[in-house]
Amino acid sequence: MSVTKVIEFGAASEQRTEKQKTAGLRRLLARQLILELGIPLVSYYGLRAAGAGEWLALAVGTVLTAPWIVYGAIRNRRFDVTAAFALSLMLTGGVVSLVTGDPRLLLVRDSWLGALLGLWILLTLSTQRPFIMLSSRAVVIAKVGEAGAKAWEDRWNHEADFRRHIRILTAVWGAVFLIDAGVRVVLAYSLPVDSVPGISTAQWLVVLGCLLAFHARYVARNGLKA
């Protein structure tokens, strides 16, 4: 699941209530989980039960996911770098796996994306706009409008504690993505192929849930809300 879609979620109108925003976020997360995790998982085990080989079952899951990524980019009417990168990894991983005949290359495809995303997040620590500042802007604008968002961003220039907490959050997100990617690779090459999709999906759900819970708690405790 694209991390920017999780963090950057905001209401279309500033007049929406907190209850409406929460319901909208839950619908977004549910849709993303079904499209990006549920469909590949169900298709893999369904095809395996029907007698399909490991490579074919994994490849079909990838093919079923790709149209939804393209549709999301078209619907948002903007070039989504994360989506484009994910599609390129799907294509590259599929071709390499087909040539080598190794289905495990398809299993570690998401690890490549997660590792590079984690590395990019950590690299933003050296800039004036770390990852959390960039990814939170849409949420802040939805809550307090453009003027309020500017005031929130100005805290970066005047409050040392604000900068420190933003950097800590950014470092946590980057480190978690890198560690998760490493664990996924270990799982892909140490477990039976048929066990990896289910275990890897469960792992990501736990990691994402814990990360979002930590993020929300840290933001509230350290006065980072707009």
- Of the listed ranges 51-60, 84-93, 101-110, 177-186, the least confidently predicted one is 84-93
Distance CA 95, CA 87 (A): 12
- Exposure string for 191-222, b = 16+ CB within 10 A, e = fewer: eebeebbeebbeebeebbeebeeebeeebeee
Residues 6+ apart with CB under 8 A from 138: 8, 9, 10
Query: What confidence score (pLDDT) does residue 14 get?
Result: 39
Considering the chain, what is the average pLDDT of its residues?
79
Distance CA 37, CA 82 (A): 16
- Of the listed ranges 3-17, 82-96, 128-142, 206-220, the least confidently predicted one is 3-17
- Of the listed ranges 19-23, 95-99, 185-189, the least confidently predicted one is 19-23
Which residue has better confidence, 88 or 157?
157
- Of the listed ranges 17-21, 31-35, 120-124, the least confidently predicted one is 17-21
Distance CA 222, CA 214 (A): 12
Query: What confidence score (pLDDT) does residue 17 get?
Result: 52
Q: What percent of the chain has pLDDT over 70?
A: 69
Instruction: Identify the DSSP state of 130.
Output: -
Give yes or no for residue 15 having a pLDDT over 50: no
Phi/psi-derived region of residue 17, left when phi > 0, alpha when psi is between -120 and 50, beta in every other case: beta
Query: What confidence score (pLDDT) does residue 13 get?
Result: 38
Q: What is the mean pLDDT of residues 109-117?
A: 83
pLDDT grade, residue 10 (50/70/90)? very low
Q: What percent of the chain has pLDDT over 90?
A: 35
Distance CA 89, CA 204 (A): 19
Give yes or no for residue 27 having a pLDDT over 90: no
Residues 6+ apart with CB under 8 A from 78: none
Residue type, 54: E
What predicted TM-score, i.e. pTM, was given to this entire model? 0.76
